[in-house]
């Protein structure tokens, strides 16, 4: 490996010398940990590996996803595998998305003091404070799109002085958008009805009745839309 430069990192306060090319997660494994927490998809999708770190000489505490962040010399880090975030129960079928929907389930979002800690912490670079502002105003669709790339790692909630669970509030906004706000899909509804009425049974049975040679012929000559 041409990039095998070794550096020192501090895992839970203890010094280990690791290759500089590794991510934070990989460096823990290089050091000898077998991860059972704080490790999930290893690709930046699941939000399992929220990690707090500080680089020697720097006073600021930073937060990152361990699987998506390279180690730095003198990095002190510790993982935060679980966030006890508030999640009220609701029945998605009993809704009329209204101005007061958020107030009912997540009243604390109105205590936001605009400190922007949530946004500064987000490893996905989302404008978290902005989507909470949308939620406050009942603008569910805007909140949904602004928060769409959220991986629910919980870093926002860990930093919020108002006790907001941003990622759960946004999830409610997205579900309301998907179910109620975006128009219904006509062609989907129609096809489901056709299938339920048995309109496609014959064509499927016909094709299932073909032998492999006939199927191959059909497949190799099927028309493919551009």
Partner 1 sequence: MYTAEMRELSKKVEETRSQRIGINFPRMSPEDKIGVLNENHPDYSDKGFMYLKHGVNKGARVPNELGELLEAKSKLVNLEINLDKIDYDVDVLVIGGGGAGAAAALEANEKGAKVLITTKLRFGDANTMMAEGGIQAADKPDDSPAKHYLDVMGGGHYTNVPELASTLVKDAPSAIKWLNDLGVMFDKEKDGTMITNHGGGTSRKRMHSAADYSGAEIMRVMRDEVRNKEIEVLEFSPVIELLLDTDGKAAGAVICDLETKRNFVVRAKTVIMATGGAGRLHYQGFPTSNHYGATADGLVMGYRVGAELAFADTIQYHPTGVAYPSQIFGALVTEKVRSLGATPLNIHGEQFVYHLETRDVEASAIIRECNVKGNGIPTPTGGYGVWLDTPLIEMIHGEGTIEKKLPAMLRMYLKFDLDMRKKPILVYPTLHYQNGGLLIDKNGQTKIENLYVAGECAGGIHGTNRLMGNSLLDIIVFGRRAGIHAGENFKDIKIKDLTFDHVRKYHEDLENNEVESSQFSPMILPIYTHGREK
CB of 142 to partner 1, least distance (A): 13
CB of 86 to partner 1, least distance (A): 12
Supply 21's token pair. 């090319």
The residue among 42 and 54 lying less far from partner 1, judged by its C-beta, is 42
The residue among 39 and 118 lying less far from partner 1, judged by its C-beta, is 39
Cα dist from 145 to 38, 87, 166, whole Å? 27, 20, 14
The residue among 22 and 109 lying less far from partner 1, judged by its C-beta, is 22
Question: What is the rounded distance in angstroms from the CA atom of residue 121 to the CA atom of residue 62?
Answer: 7
Q: Are 132 and 166 spatial neighbours (Cβ–Cβ below 8 Å)? A: yes
CB of 182 to partner 1, least distance (A): 6
Question: What is the rounded distance in angstroms from the CA atom of residue 210 to the CA atom of residue 216?
Answer: 10
CB of 138 to partner 1, least distance (A): 17
What 3-state DSSP class applies to 23? strand
Reported residue count of the chain is: 226
The neighbour count for residue 50, using CB atoms within 10 Å, is 22
The residue among 114 and 203 lying less far from partner 1, judged by its C-beta, is 203
């Amino acid at each position: 490996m041409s990039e095998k430069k070794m550096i020192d990192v501090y895992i839970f306060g203890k010094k280990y010398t690791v290759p500089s090319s590794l991510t934070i997660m990989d460096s823990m494994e290089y050091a000898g940990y077998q991860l059972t927490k704080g490790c999930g998809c290893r690709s930046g999708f699941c939000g399992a590996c929220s990690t707090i770190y500080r680089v020697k000489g720097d006073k600021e505490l930073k937060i990152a996803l361990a699987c998506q962040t390279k180690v730095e010399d003198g990095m002190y880090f510790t993982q935060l595998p679980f966030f006890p975030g508030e999640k009220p129960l609701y029945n998605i079928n009993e809704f009329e998305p209204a101005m007061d929907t958020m107030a009912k389930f997540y009243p604390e979002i109105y205590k936001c003091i605009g400190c922007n800690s949530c946004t500064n912490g987000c490893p996905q670079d989302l404008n978290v404070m902005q989507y909470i502002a949308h939620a406050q105003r009942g603008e569910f669709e805007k909140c949904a799109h602004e928060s769409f790339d959220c991986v629910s790692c919980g870093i926002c909630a860990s930093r919020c002085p108002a006790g907001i669970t941003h990622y759960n509030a946004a999830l409610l906004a997205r579900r309301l958008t998907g179910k109620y706000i975006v128009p219904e899909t006509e062609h989907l509804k129609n096809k489901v009805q056709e299938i339920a009425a048995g309109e496609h049974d014959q064509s499927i049975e016909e094709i299932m009745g073909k032998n492999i040679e006939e199927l191959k012929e059909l497949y190799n000559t099927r028309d493919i839309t551009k």
